[in-house]
Amino acid sequence: MRFMFQKLVVYQEGGRFACEILRLTANLKPRHYALGDQLRRAAMSISANIAEGWGRRHPKEKLQFYRVAMASAYECVPHLEFAFSDNLILRADYERLLGTIDRIILLLNGLLKSTQSYTKSTLPPRPNSPS
């Protein structure tokens, strides 16, 4: 792997999830174009924001991108619900994909917590604040 963020399990899970969504939405009918487009964009945004956050120097910037990745993961849930309710995906795929999103969210929580603890331990105290 060329870049360190590629070793992150959450990045890998997000990438696999996006590839699965791309495969499942490849042949949607025109009336489902908007749903497929939103789902694809949200799914791809997860790993893209993890990578972009990793490249930021300041921990607070990193946190912002990781939070966007988290929001994108949550955004996938209603899109999957709509796809399932309109019979675009099978129940087994729906449940498996929701399980994957749940795992990604748990992993992102860990990434956020580790970045937050790093931020607290490395930044100097703000002026006029208790040490």
Q: Looking at the domain covering 4-120, what would its CATH class be?
A: mainly alpha
* Digit-coded pLDDT (tens) for 51-80: 999 999 999 999 999 999 999 999 999 999
User: pLDDT below 70 — which residues of the chain?
Assistant: 118-131
Res 125: pLDDT:
57
Res 117: pLDDT:
83
Res 119: pLDDT:
61
CA proximity to 82, closest of 30, 118, 38, 126: 38
Res 63: pLDDT:
97
Paired tokens of 82: 């709509």
Res 24: pLDDT:
94
Res 47: pLDDT:
98
Range 117-120, long-range pairs (CB < 8 A, 24+ positions): 118/59, 119/59, 119/60, 119/63
Paired tokens of 92: 């087994």
Res 130: pLDDT:
55
